[in-house]
C-alpha cells in the first residue's frame, strides 16, 4: 500500500491517492473528516465514502459542499429514484420515510443516497443488506434488494467482485460508514482492506485511516492493523472495532462501474 508522505489532515482539499497493491488495479482518493472547508465531524462519513467512490471516475473534483448542495434535497433524490427504477410515481414506502439529508438535522447520508448519487453520475451500483436490516436506518427496507446476504455469502460476493471489478464498496451499520477496497482469504480467515473517514483532523500525521481487519469464519473481528499510537487519531473507536459481521446488520452499496 503506497502512502502519500505529504498528507496533512485538516488542510482543505488535501487528498491522497491510494494504490491497492494487493490487486494492482484499484486506485482512489481518500477523504477523511473536515476537508473541503466543511466541518462534517460526527455526520459526514457517508458523504466522504461517496467522494471516495466518485474519485474513481476520471477528472473527479467534487467537494462535499458540491455534493450536499446537489443531492441533499428530497425532490432531487426522488426524481433520481424514479429514473433508476423506471417508474412514474414515488412509492408510499418512500413518501413515508425521512431518507433525504434535508429531512435530518445532521444532513445524514446512507448507502441508499450513495446509490442515487452514483446513478445520477452514470455509475451502476448494487444496494443490499448483510444479515439484517439496521433498525435505525433512514432508508426504508424496500429500497434494498430482496435477497439478504449472510457473512459467508458476502465474502463470496466480495471475492468475485474484486476479482473482476475495481469498484469500491460502501458499508454502513447506520452509525459508521466506511469503504472496503479489497479482500483476501487467509486459510479460513478473511482480511478486509478498509478506508475509514473517521479521523480527528486536528492532528497531523503522514497517513492514517487505512487499515486491514482480520475476521474469523463467522465474521467476528480477530484483529486490525491500527497501532496503539495511531488510535489517538481516530474519532471513534466504534468505527474500527465495530467492523464485524457475525449477525450484525449492514447496508452495502457497491460501485459496479460506468453505465
Is 193 in contact with 229 (CB distance < 8 Å)? no
pLDDT value, residue 74: 96
Residue with cell 482480520: 214
Distances (CA, A) of 4 to 17, 36, 209: 7, 18, 13
pLDDT tens across 108-124, in order?
999 999 999 999 999 99
| Closest to 56 in 3D by CA, of 29, 35, 33, 31 | 29
pTM: 0.89
The number of residues making up the chain comes to 259
207: pLDDT strictly greater than 80? no
Per-residue pLDDT reduced to its tens digit, 139-195 = 999 999 999 999 999 999 999 999 988 899 999 999 999 999 999 999 999 999 999
pLDDT digits (tens, 9 = 90+) for 51-89: 999 988 866 678 888 899 999 999 999 999 999 999 999
Q: CA 15 to CA 8: how far, in whole Å?
A: 9
The set of cell numbers assigned to 169 is 464498496
Amino acid at each position: 500500500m503506497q502512502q502519500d508522505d505529504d498528507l496533512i489532515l485538516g488542510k482543505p482539499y488535501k487528498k491522497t491517492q491510494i494504490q491497492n497493491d494487493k490487486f494492482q488495479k484499484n486506485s482512489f482518493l481518500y477523504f477523511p473528516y473536515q476537508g473541503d472547508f466543511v466541518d462534517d465531524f460526527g455526520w459526514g462519513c457517508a458523504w466522504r465514502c461517496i467522494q471516495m467512490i466518485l474519485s474513481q471516475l476520471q477528472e473527479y473534483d467534487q467537494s462535499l459542499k458540491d455534493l450536499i448542495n446537489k443531492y441533499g434535497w428530497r425532490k432531487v433524490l426522488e426524481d433520481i429514484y424514479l429514473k433508476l427504477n423506471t417508474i412514474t410515481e414515488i412509492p408510499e414506502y418512500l413518501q413515508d420515510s425521512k431518507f433525504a439529508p434535508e429531512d435530518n438535522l445532521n444532513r445524514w447520508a446512507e448507502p441508499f443516497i450513495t446509490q442515487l448519487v452514483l446513478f445520477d453520475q452514470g455509475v451502476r451500483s448494487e444496494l443490499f443488506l448483510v444479515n439484517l436490516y439496521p433498525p435505525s436506518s433512514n432508508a426504508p427496507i424496500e429500497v434494498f434488494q430482496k435477497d439478504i446476504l449472510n457473512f459467508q455469502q458476502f465474502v463470496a460476493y466480495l471475492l468475485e467482485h474484486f476479482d473482476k471489478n475495481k469498484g469500491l464498496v460502501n458499508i454502513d451499520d447506520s452509525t459508521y460508514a466506511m469503504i472496503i477496497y479489497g479482500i483476501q482469504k487467509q486459510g479460513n480467515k478473511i482480511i478486509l482492506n478498509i478506508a475509514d473517514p473517521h479521523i480527528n483532523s486536528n492532528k497531523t500525521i503522514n497517513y492514517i485511516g487505512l487499515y486491514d481487519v482480520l475476521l474469523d469464519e463467522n465474521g467476528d473481528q480477530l484483529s486490525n492493523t491500527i497501532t496503539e499510537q495511531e488510535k489517538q487519531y481516530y474519532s471513534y473507536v466504534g468505527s474500527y472495532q465495530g467492523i464485524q459481521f457475525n449477525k450484525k446488520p449492514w447496508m452495502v452499496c457497491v460501485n459496479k462501474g460506468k453505465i
